[in-house]
Amino acid sequence: MKLEEVLLNRSENKCELCSSANAVTVYEVAPHAKNDESNCIMICAKCRAQIEKKEDLDSNHWKVLTESMWSEVPGVQVVAWRMLNRLKNESWAADALDMLYLDDEKLEWAKATGDHESDGSTELHKDAYGNVLSTGDTVLLTQSLNVKGSNVNGKVGTLIKNIRLVPENTEQIEGRIEGQVIVILTKYVKKQTS
């Protein structure tokens, strides 16, 4: 039986964190040596987006952790611990965190990513007007840009299609101007909406 089939059977085709039945997919709880049913869980798109910090944390969505944290699945316990730590400013999350027990091995696994040190805030790539940018978006330059070490010049209003987000820096995107891929500061672009 494939890993995904095992996980779907175990989860009853629901998110193992919030019990949503909407579009659940396999989530690998990092870090791990190999994928197996103890370190992979089924989660919905909303949980994934918030775990991966692609969406602001919705405290109300995570209140269900007070129930799912008791799962016998190690991956669910680890993710619950990490998310409760990100929400520890909420009294209900702090209380749940006090009750949640992880053995030394699981606690070490939960701390391995450093995600528990986060305050829960999400840093998203945003354009000059506060619109959230995603890979594949089209943007307009709001300021003329001269590319250092090149004769490429991006004029105000230049359309840049199919941008890529720079993962390590939320103030930068990559885009192609005059056939050359360059790094552009997000404060100089405006997201094109259809």
> What does the pLDDT look like over 64-91, one tens digit per residue?
999 999 999 999 999 999 999 999 999 9
Out of 82, 117, 152, pick the residue that ends a domain: 117
Average pLDDT over residues 46-68: 92
Task: Report if residue 72 sits inside a domain.
Answer: yes
Do 82 and 169 sit in the same domain of this protein?
no
Rounded to whole angstroms, how far apart are CA atoms 36 and 3?
Answer: 7
Rounded to whole angstroms, how far apart are CA atoms 132 and 55?
Answer: 10
Do 30 and 81 sit in the same domain of this protein?
yes
**Helix segments in the chain, DSSP class H:** 3-11, 45-51, 59-62, 65-68, 74-86, 91-99, 104-111
Do 150 and 80 sit in the same domain of this protein?
no
> What does the pLDDT look like over 89-135, one tens digit per residue?
999 999 999 999 999 999 999 998 876 665 555 677 888 888 888 88
Tell me, yes or no, if the pTM score tops 0.85. no
Q: How confident is the model at residue 55 (pLDDT cuts 50, 70, 90)?
A: confident
Q: What is the pLDDT of residue 194?
A: 65
Do 18 and 99 sit in the same domain of this protein?
yes
Which residue in the block uniquely carries the two structure tokens 């209900």?
Answer: 92
Do 93 and 159 sit in the same domain of this protein?
no
Q: Nearest CA to 192 among 116, 141, 118? A: 141
Q: Kindly give the interhelix angle for 104-111 and 74-86, rounded to the nearest 10 degrees.
A: 50
Do 178 and 147 sit in the same domain of this protein?
yes
Do 71 and 145 sit in the same domain of this protein?
no
